[in-house]
Chain A
Amino acid sequence: MTDPVLQTKGICKSFGALRASRDISIDLLPGEIHAIIGPNGAGKSTLIGQICGTLKPDAGSVELLGQDVTHQTARARSRAGLGRTFQISSLAMEDTVLQNALLGALGANGNPWRFWKDVLKDENLRATAEEALVRVGLEDHARVRTAELSHGQRRQLEVAVALTLRPRALVMDEPMAGMGSEGSKRLTGFLDELRHEAPILLVEHDMDAVFALADRISVLVYGEVIATGTVEEIRADAAVREAYLGEDA
């Protein structure tokens, strides 16, 4: 059996009386897209926070590429190969698309303690950044200010920045949110390819995308994983239908 790239082992997290994560154990295998679905307030963002290192679990552990990273910072996890895209775009809005991609390249293979050379003239950084932009189809927008991008294009840029880091695993928080059906379709096709490069833990509300992409789905309700399985298994699962998908799903 192949080892999981990313794994949580029984992580628990409470905010006061609210138990946001209850003994969650999920894993991400090479080459797969593992979708996490669940109603609002199910604890998806809390789970992602703990996986990426912005939140510390009360109990349990997080492993990345076989290493226990539970006590490492978000920064260290990024460097170890964990790529992330945000639910709410967190890009440098005043900067150009290219500059945002360059930031990723700088984090990946450059050192930021250079005060003199023009970053736009750094061939290596630029090659990495431009390659990532080409892959998400933003190469024609390289010189556009990020604030002027459409919502969907910002999502694409989020993915591009994550790609510059050459991640070993990706955590994507609702990459389809706010995208038109056209853009959503394109991104679906792209993620479909991307999984072979880096497996993706995908939190997504767009059920068409989830059912089209996911190899496995985990259903999170009230901080608990109530089911994990293939698309067919999840569709057929009575508890899931009741809790989340609705009877007519």
Chain B
Amino acid sequence: MIRETYVNALTLLALVAIPAWALYADEPFTITLMTRAAIFAIAAIGLNIALGIGGLVSLGHAVFFGIGGYAMGILAHHAQTYTPLAEWPFLIDGTKSMPIIWLVAICLSALAALVIGALSLRTTGVYFIMITLAFGQMFFFFAISWAEYGGEDGLSIYVRNGFPGLNTLAPIQFYGLCLALLFVVLIFAWKLSKSPFGLALNAARQAPMRVETVGLDPMRLKLIAFVISGVITGLAGALFADLNRFVSPTMFSWQLSGEIIIFIILGGVGRLFGPVIGALAFVALEHWLGGLSDYWHIYLGLLLLVVVLFGRGGLIGMLSGREAVHD
């Protein structure tokens, strides 16, 4: 067994060393793959706050991923066509600035998570899964029928959006930006898990009656967790759209919601680095197995089965055992 700290340190090292090597060896595609993994990791860290700590199995997190994506797509689309987003009540122009796009993605995701959470949290267990799935499908079909923004075909953005002081079109610079955000999100998730809120949320998952009896509201704790979770996944969506310079309804699809859950299960539910390791493993498999066969999901399924059956606690659990008690 390797201590979890070492596994985490190794993961961080990989996040820095692999792209550095790729830059040196002039392998830009590897950098793109790593960017994809980093963005998926951010999305999954978001879900892990709701799922891992709060016990909320949301099969609708693609909603926030998609909202982030469309926030980017719509704003950039108006900017590149020089058309205003709205003229009334006041003039709103599109933008190609990442910070503004992120802010919009965050606000819209928060709003959506608040509404979806408030309605979904009236249910628990399998009903919660189903209702979040239903919201996901609603957004998916809405995006498909939204002809103004490409409908089924989605929106192409010709030039990647800008970030002050960076050339985002250089793969390594865009990767650096995503990695920096990944670190910020990781640190936030780490602090949150040890904070008073984390303690209360953790207890609300395990013993809601107890939380109620000490005078706290488990529902409200879970709702706030769901909003934080949605915001982080939404931010990842905006980055993902920028990585591909393309956004389409598949960002809202339930398959994507499922994939975000897979990252977490593969890496380790509720573990800080679980989503990161899961996303890295997923992207690596997608790349290698995808090259071998179109039906690579079969192998992914087998791996998932092995991890779930034999490695309780995901890949991290297999490598470093149960989570240590922190004091």
Contacts and interface: CB of A to CB of B under 8 A. Distances in A.
User: What are the 9 closest A-B residue pairs judged by CB atoms, nearest first?
Assistant: A107-B214, A112-B200, A78-B215, A92-B206, A107-B215, A79-B215, A92-B203, A119-B196, A114-B196
A125 B216 CA distance: 15
Interface in A187-203: none
Contacts of A116: 191-192, 195
A103 B209 contact: no
A120 B214 contact: no
B197 A90 contact: no
B155 to A, nearest CB: 34
A167 to B, nearest CB: 10
Interface string B197-235: 111101100110111111111000100100010000000
B45 to A, nearest CB: 14
Nearest to B218: A75
Contacts of A92: 202-203, 206-207, 210
A143 B210 CA distance: 20
B215 A111 contact: no
Contact of A103 (B194, B199, B327): B199
A8 interface: no
A239 interface: no
Contacts of A118: 191, 194-195
A75 B216 contact: yes
Contact of B216 (A94, A98, A107, A161): A107
B292 interface: no
Contacts of A95: 199, 202-203, 206
B1 interface: no
16 contacts: A73-B212, A74-B212, A75-B212, A78-B214, A96-B327, A103-B199, A104-B214, A108-B215, A111-B196, A112-B196, A115-B198, A116-B192, A118-B195, A119-B196, A120-B326, A165-B215
Interface string A164-198: 11000000000000000000000000000000000
Contacts of B207: 90-93
A113 B215 contact: no
Given A108-B215, A112-B197, A145 B210 contact: no
A93 B216 contact: no
A21 interface: no
A86 B209 contact: yes
Interface of B: 188, 191-192, 194-200, 202-203, 206-207, 209-217, 221, 224, 228, 325-327
A99 interface: yes
Interface of A: 52, 54, 73-76, 78-79, 84, 86, 90-96, 98-100, 102-104, 106-108, 110-120, 122, 125, 143-145, 161, 164-165
Contacts of A75: 212, 215-217
Nearest to B204: A92
Contacts of B215: 75-76, 78-79, 107-108, 165
A122 B196 contact: yes
Contacts of A164: 214
B63 to A, nearest CB: 23
Given A96-B327, A120-B194, A90 B214 contact: no
Given A86-B209, A92-B210, A106-B214, A115 B195 contact: yes
Nearest to A106: B196
A50 B10 CA distance: 54
Given A107-B215, A161-B214, A96 B195 contact: no
Given A79-B215, A95-B206, A112-B221, A103 B200 contact: yes
B186 to A, nearest CB: 14
Contacts of A108: 214-215
A84 B206 contact: no
Contacts of A73: 212
